[in-house]
Structure 1
């Protein structure tokens, strides 16, 4: 028999919007663990410190995503078991990873 968990939990808000986690929404994301990584990163500021320590030499007028966001995508992807950069083409559509980054 399969047990179903309907408990929901609050996460840090995202752009002023309430963000709630739960297990009753069906198949929404390939890995909800990215939101847990986001919570830990917000608490300890790992990617923020990494971004501050790197020099971004990209042409500012051509940049769409900040260095910290790119680091989040890469670090979270590696932590979620997607070590190859080619996995990110698929992951960029994942709602949980998009919210986390």
Structure 2
């Protein structure tokens, strides 16, 4: 029988991943995402650009950790904010985010209210920096643009809609790249 070898993580040398049947968690795969995050500097890039309208005087969770928690929850399949209440003391997620306890659902909800148009633009700049890193790493010489059509049903007398025999409905059929 073949098993995975033990792997020590660069971002936290105390954590060792193995498949020997020891202490189990269904979310330990998140450690690999955190390791990848550290390798490409994803969280550091977000911290560099993230500026929110934050008037809090006292807080337990930084905006950066709240964003990291939300990103890792989504990666693990916990898309709803209510999952944060179940994960508050989860040992895997506490290590991934790097905090003694995770934020609760109300803390995440308040976090979203601190975003404005400028905050979104700053995240777009962070996204562009990450894309630039990828293009630099890949040393891309060519760009392929895939053109395809899509289908969107319409109801009533929508202007510019037409009958699509393939779908048997009235629809828009735009070309997207």
How many residue pairs get matched? 96
CA contact (8 A) 1:31 1:96 kept: yes
Question: Quick one: which of 4, 7, 19 aligns to 2:5?
Answer: 7
Question: Quick one: which of 31, 35, 42 aligns to 2:27?
Answer: 31
Q: Name the structure 1 match of 2:74.
A: 78
Task: State how far apart, in whole Å, the 1-side matches of 2:57 and 2:26 are.
Answer: 33
Which of the pair has more CA radius of gyration?
Answer: 2
RMSD of aligned residue pairs (Cα, Å): 2.1
Please list the CA deviations of residues 34-69 of structure 1 after superposition, one character each: whole Å capped at 9, or x if unmatched. Answer: 101110110112122223222133245312122221
Q: Name the structure 2 match of 1:18.
A: 14
Query: Can you give the 5+ residue segments of structure 2 that lack an aligned partner in the other structure?
Result: 98-177
Question: Quick one: which of 86, 92, 96 aligns to 2:92?
Answer: 96
Task: State how far apart, in whole Å, the 1-side matches of 2:68 and 2:34 are.
Answer: 8
Q: Name the structure 2 match of 1:55.
A: 51
CA contact (8 A) 2:11 2:38 kept: no
Please list the CA deviations of residues 6-44 of structure 1 after superposition, one character each: whole Å capped at 9, or x if unmatched. Answer: 631110243xx52211123232x2311110111011011
Q: Name the structure 1 match of 2:158.
A: none
Where do 4+ consecutive residues of structure 1 move more than 6 Å? none
Task: State how far apart, in whole Å, the 2-side matches of 1:72 and 1:41 are.
Answer: 10
Task: Give the superposition deviation at 1:4.
Answer: 7.3
Query: What is the SS of the residue equivalent to 2:51?
Result: coil
Q: 1:92 to 1:5 in 2, by over 3 A?
A: farther
Name whichever structure is richer in helix by fraction. 1
